[in-house]
Amino acid sequence: MARTAKHSKQELRDMALAAARAVIAEEGSRNVTVRAVAARMGYSVGTLYNIFEGLEELIAALNAETLDGLYDALSQAPITGKPEADLHALLDRYLDFVAANRREWTMMFDERLPEAKAPPAWYLEKVARVFTLLGRMLQPLFAPGEEADLTSAVRLLWIAMHGVWTLDAGGKLFIVTNDPVEKVAHDMVDMFLAGLGARKGD
Each residue of 135-189: pLDDT tens digit? 999 999 999 999 999 999 999 998 998 888 888 877 888 999 999 999 999 999 9
DSSP 140: G
CATH code, domain carrying 156: 1.10.357.10
**Based on the domain organization, do 82 and 42 belong to the same domain?**
no
Question: Domain of 34: which CATH number?
Answer: 1.10.10.60
* Cβ neighbours of residue 16 closer than 8 Å, sequence gap 6 or more: 37, 38, 41, 48, 51, 52, 58
Domain termination residue (choose one: 52, 79, 94): 52
Which residues form the domain of 100? 60-199
Q: What is the pLDDT of residue 114?
A: 44
How many CA atoms lie less than 13 Å away from 35 in the CB half-sphere? 2
Residue 190 to residue 187: CA distance in whole angstroms:
5
CB atoms within 10 A of CB 53: 11
Is the domain of 80 the same as that of 42? no
Q: Return the pLDDT at 165.
A: 83
Tell me the per-residue pLDDT of 16-49, one tens digit each, with 9 for 90 and over.
999 999 998 898 888 899 999 999 999 999 999 9
Asked if residue 155 lies in contact with residue 131, where contact means CB atoms within 8 angstroms, the answer is yes
Comparison of pLDDT for 63 and 1, the residue scoring more? 63
Alpha carbons 151 and 131: distance in angstroms, whole number: 8
77 and 174 fall within a common domain = yes
Number of domains in the chain: 2
Residue 200 confidence (pLDDT) = 63
